[in-house]
Structure 1
């Protein structure tokens, strides 16, 4: 058996080292019990849980449609349309948090491995053992009363890379000697390099280990103690409430061969689940939103990949407002994509340019075979005179949306050089920081 093609379980004996200095095992402080007559409402599992940046309670929303907008050799770009029946008001740039669920078959496997299959849906109680340490608490995301299936499906993330403290704690529950000695080696001081090479670098996760080590039967309480919370996934809303208050759209990309937990869940719930219901909440807005005070502003928008998503909402709202007779500022959009097949809603954006919603659209393709490789930084440099004049205007705002800190840093460095070519780098950096503080330069960074 292999750890998802990462480690051959038949070869682990050769990695076992004789000298093993083990850390002190952390004390186990939780227990899961099944008292008679205990009840719990699994439908209300999220009612008493706090979620990051939430400004609303968790509500169920129906998925109206899911489509692939673009595709490359490695990635697919998806759009999901959600019902907004309660017509919760949002602005372009606002975000929602979608609560994912772990894969049903994986959860079933873990329940079986933990000898909990027959008790999976029986109400259980999570409580502290007799511990004296005041710092020890039940994790805030775990209800005191729930079910084992709910915990594994909705509340903990077993697809994370295990820390050495968890591996060390698993030793007590591994019956096979070779498997136990291998885990001892990984958790030992002498096994640091092996842990880095076999676990960290290969992104071996907790589920991989449970699947590979057949004699491993840890209690659920141990997983609750060590595993992180299954966090909501934030997404930018890509449409206008003013134009269509009954819908919300989100756009996201995923690797074809390695989908994340939420992407896998969303695709499966739409294609398999007849109800097509997803749980989500609205997140606290940031400065990155199209508010009324920007109607008359000239706006420079810069995005890379799916980060164009909120700008589609910006443009839809501006188009709607212009149809109502409002006078708006001039807008310029710089978009970077891998290739034409991933340039989502290209025809719509081009139409915005033709209709005067956009003053100018700059499209940059970094991996298109038929054209020279170009990034948004290249387009900014080519239009340096126009870009600099707009950026320096007292009536302008810059919105930058990109995946990853490195890309946003490269874009910021490019803007500094183009707008302030004759100023010392440290001084131009300070000016950009002042712009950020004043709200002239607004970034949305997705990791």
Structure 2
């Protein structure tokens, strides 16, 4: 197929204008949409979605006549597995699932529940297109690892981990930006710091090593925190027997270990995505010292890409229309999140099963996107540059420029089609 030019989305003042917190007029022509105004950042994203050579077809399962799972097919539809982590960075998926057919007033596509939280039919214009199985996978590298093993075809997860797995040779594409920000530094309650400046000063003057936990080696929060320490010239160690460090970074393996490790003294604090930070604070286990988007270098992490949606080339090639309809659902759900924050918070609490007040603290710290902002584009290039500098690329992406990495890893052509159709309705 051809190539799609993607322009970063800004307004005339140079500010981001494609977060759906800013409503766009449905009757404008696409050529006048901010997405297509020149901003100096142009990505050429390859969209080889029409090439099915060497690809295996996704299996199909019967669509039940009456909504039960044991009826004969009428007709057969694709069976697509969607991986997610379960926290509120993936709120667009949960709003789509919980709001169901009510989303049809915002989009031609919606999800029809077959089994709560697990199985949904993807319906567009009244016609079922696919049966989606929602599979909860772990954070960090677990989502792209599940995709690598063939356990899921589409996944919601951290963009740095997705890029890392693409470098390994996996034919994945980031197809939807999903969200930015929402990463925090949490410290024990008696730690003498209330912001990044006081944290850095305390660490520099401390006579003991400060231990900070993280969930995975290429987790977004860990990468930001690590780079900020370097910017402050604070020495880092990674093992207890190493010398010369002021901060020891401790791999706690997963979010579930964060609060217990803080309470038992294994760490003095941790860096983590929401809602885990707000949950820890509401439990009284620790305090949020700062939002990682404020860390140095100044401005570098504002609206940093955290989670995105990735798809295998197989599902893009064989079920392009299904993937597009799914992204329509996510896009409409994102519009709803940003236009009705109270609904978004209620849905977040319902899906995560966290107290409402936790999500009231958490959701507003996350920026939900359904178009690539200028900061999202530059942030993706920042991740590419950082990962190259710390030698995370060893194969497919090794030696590429940051722009070439983004071009290789992203295919936003379906999203552009959706944006165009919304503007021309």
Task: Work out whether the TM-score is over 0.5.
Answer: no
Give the TM-score normalised by structure 1: 0.29
Give the TM-score normalised by structure 2: 0.30
The higher relative CO (CA closer than 8 Å, separation ≥ 6) is in 2
Structure 1 or 2, whichever has the larger Rg, is 1
